[in-house]
Structure 1
């Protein structure tokens, strides 16, 4: 049995299958390493299948209306859920998601109905929201300022030192090249 916002979901032979994904990304590239990056625990989903008899067509219509229902801002309706499987997974709130299908089973005069409910405000999501985010740190650079601001808002240039001669700029390599050039007669 499933109850959404206190209303029993209609139908017979109700089966609920719960699942969730543990996201990770392979970091091994072309190697045989087993490194992965964790991507978190995704919300649980409940896959529901049930049967509604042709005589209970109004029940199917009501269930379709529940799946299509939206709140005052146009988002799909969130339902409080009661179901043993949902309770075992600590699922308290859900909304219809992905696929809702109903298929005629003429020989038995009924519809096979299946749909998916996704957990809303999952426990891992709540834990993640409660964790403190690390504070941003201000980055600074070491060194001297190239220009300085004048009091009137204009910048003034700092006087530059005379350009070093080639020997000072290139050091030992330049001196060795000059010696080779002298030996070779250049």
Structure 2
């Protein structure tokens, strides 16, 4: 089994990757024995990696620590493109280190037993949720004019209320340049 992070092979022996998808749900039974659950969505998929690095190959552990401590602009954790069979099956493409990294010495094996977790970022469900249209909010209205309206304002906003703020500004500039706006 191989694990590549941005093309860097994670070195070690007995590499094992465990993929996990957590499905959040909430109990809707209240004080009854009902078994209804509310689906609260899918949480980011994780890859738990365990491997062994012999003491004589300590440079492999140094390289792994360098990958774990890498940051991007703004101090955010570095986002890695991952290549691994388990990650591919679970649809995981981009990950970052999460929940820490541990290296426990095993004297009988003369090696470090290393374990760390990679958490999915920018998943397909996350992208779909971001593109999903939000619930439309209806504006509340009442008879009469709005407070502070003044009753008779004649600016570009009253010409066409369907225009965006930027378009209204452009309309004012156009009128001013064309000479139809009083100076």
TM-score category of the 2 structures, normalised to the smaller one: 0.7 to 0.9
- Counterpart-to-counterpart distance in 1, 2:36 and 2:141: 34
Q: Taking structure 2 as the reference length, what is the TM-score of the superposition? A: 0.75
Mapping 1:4-19, distance limit 5 Å: 4-19=5-20
Mapping 1:3-82, distance limit 5 Å: 3-82=4-83
- Counterpart-to-counterpart distance in 2, 1:59 and 1:51: 10
- Counterpart-to-counterpart distance in 2, 1:76 and 1:56: 26
Q: CA deviation at 1:43?
A: 0.7
* Aligned partner of residue 107 in structure 1, secondary structure: coil
1:132 aligns with 2:125: no
Partner of 1:119: 120
- Counterpart-to-counterpart distance in 1, 2:100 and 2:8: 21
- Counterpart-to-counterpart distance in 2, 1:30 and 1:99: 39
- Counterpart-to-counterpart distance in 2, 1:60 and 1:124: 34
- Counterpart-to-counterpart distance in 2, 1:49 and 1:88: 18
Mapping 1:96-107, distance limit 5 Å: 96-107=97-108
Partner of 2:86: 85
Q: CA deviation at 1:69?
A: 1.0
Mark the runs of 5 or more structure 1 residues left unpaired by the alignment.
153-186
RMSD: 2.0
Q: CA deviation at 1:99?
A: 2.7
Q: Which of 1 and 2 has greater Rg? A: 1
- Counterpart-to-counterpart distance in 1, 2:33 and 2:123: 34
Question: 1:28–1:140: structure 2 CA closer, same or farther, 3 Å change rule?
Answer: farther
- Counterpart-to-counterpart distance in 1, 2:80 and 2:12: 18
Q: Alignment length, in residue pairs?
A: 147
- Counterpart-to-counterpart distance in 2, 1:65 and 1:6: 14
Q: CA deviation at 1:140?
A: 4.2
* Aligned partner of residue 135 in structure 1, secondary structure: coil
- Counterpart-to-counterpart distance in 1, 2:139 and 2:130: 24
Q: Taking structure 1 as the reference length, what is the TM-score of the superposition? A: 0.74
